[in-house]
Copies of this chain bind each other. A is one copy, B any other.
Amino acid sequence: MNKLPIGIFDSGVGGLTVYRALHDRLPNERFIYLGDTARVPYGTKSLATVERYAIENSQFLASLGIKALVVACNTASALALPAIRKAVGLDVVGVIGPGGRKAVHLTKDHDRPKIGVIATEATVASNAYVEAIRRASATAEVFQSACPLFVPLAEEGWTAETETFSIANKYLGQINAFAPDALVLGCTHYPILSQVIQQTVGENVKLIDSGEATAEEVETLLINKGLSNRDNVAGTRELCDDLDHFYVTDAAERFARVAERFLGAKPSKLEAIEIYGGDQLK
């Protein structure tokens, strides 16, 4: 069991920032990543559809043999965690709870912490981060903004263009007026733009990368359950090396291209598969 990899799924390429955070924090672990690129994006889809896709993805990863499952997709974490837990008999960690808890933890010196959240329209509408933050701190004030153009800007690799700064200024105007102590990056793509975001909100605002917060909670989970891998492979590990296996449901070539943009490396092991009802069809 300890030697089994950790499964990660996302609607597409964005979850690679969560993979990077897990890889950096848990260098002894192996990972299997599934990007559902045939059905991306989830953020504009209905609850029923997101649940169905999430269950299919989870069952596929569970069928490969994993010791825990990370739901890197914010939309699936917001909408489908109970359904996923019911469908697979595994520890399942989403990104929203850890992100919300870390924001509260980092602002705990404040009597009434002010926490900003930026995310896709669907995640904002779900109120999932607001609820996660309120569960961790009843006194926290939360303000959310949707930043729809950040995802295509990140995928274009426009991490320092004038237009990205200008769009960030527009999107983050209300966040800046709210003047938060911490700002949750509530979409897996946003860490790619963290420099632009940090500069726009100012150095005093703590940016919370939900992927990093999730990696910390996964580490604690593995230790508490005695599930950590004891083989010492950390010294030889690199991002995207052949200990990690990547699956996509479509367009592997594009995935590899964006992976290189996001991680500086292309997956050594990348396979395109079809998933319906948890079965692998080709």
In the complex, are the beta carbons of A250 and B45 less than 8 A apart? yes
A44 to B44, CA, bound (A): 17
Q: Tell which of A16-24, A101-109, A162-170 binds the partner.
A: A162-170
- Quick one: copies of this chain in the complex? 2
Assess whether A223 is interfacial by the CB under 8 Å rule.
Answer: no
Assess whether A226 is interfacial by the CB under 8 Å rule.
Answer: no
User: In the complex, what residues of B have CB within 8 A of residue A38's CB?
Assistant: 39, 45, 49
In the complex, are the beta carbons of A156 and B166 less than 8 A apart? no
How many Å from the CB of A78 to the closest CB on chain B?
A: 15
User: In the complex, what residues of B have CB within 8 A of residue A45's CB?
Assistant: 37-38, 250-251
Assess whether A90 is interfacial by the CB under 8 Å rule.
Answer: no
Q: Tell which of A1-9, A145-153, A263-271 binds the partner.
A: A145-153
Near B by CB (< 8 A), chain A positions 83-120 give none
In the complex, are the beta carbons of A250 and B149 less than 8 A apart? no
Knowing A38-B49, A149-B149, A156-B148, the reply to whether A251 touches B163 (Cβ < 8 A) is: no
How many Å from the CB of A150 to the closest CB on chain B?
A: 10
How many Å from the CB of A189 to the closest CB on chain B?
A: 12
Assess whether A135 is interfacial by the CB under 8 Å rule.
Answer: no
Give the number of residues in A that approach B within 8 Å (Cβ atoms): 25
Q: Which single residue of chain B is at the shortest CB-CB distance from A167?
A: B163
Instruction: Indicate the member of A38, A44, A149, A254 with the most B CB atoms within 10 Å.
Output: A44
Assess whether A46 is interfacial by the CB under 8 Å rule.
Answer: yes
User: In the complex, what residues of B have CB within 8 A of residue A163's CB?
Assistant: 163, 166-167, 170
How many Å from the CB of A229 to the closest CB on chain B?
A: 34
User: In the complex, what residues of B have CB within 8 A of residue A251's CB?
Assistant: 44-46
Of the candidates B39, B151, B153, the one whose C-beta lies within 8 Å of that of A39 is: B39
A275 to B239, CA, bound (A): 39
How many Å from the CB of A243 to the closest CB on chain B?
A: 27
User: Per-position contact with B for A245-275: 1 when CB-CB < 8 Å, else 0?
Assistant: 0000011001000000000000000001000
A39 to B170, CA, bound (A): 30
Query: Which 5 residue pairs are nearest across A and B when measured between Cβ atoms?
Result: A152-B152, A45-B250, A163-B166, A44-B251, A163-B163
Q: List 19 A-B contacts (CB under 8 A).
A: A38-B49, A40-B44, A44-B250, A44-B251, A44-B254, A45-B250, A45-B251, A46-B250, A46-B251, A148-B155, A148-B156, A149-B149, A149-B152, A149-B156, A152-B152, A162-B166, A163-B163, A163-B166, A163-B170
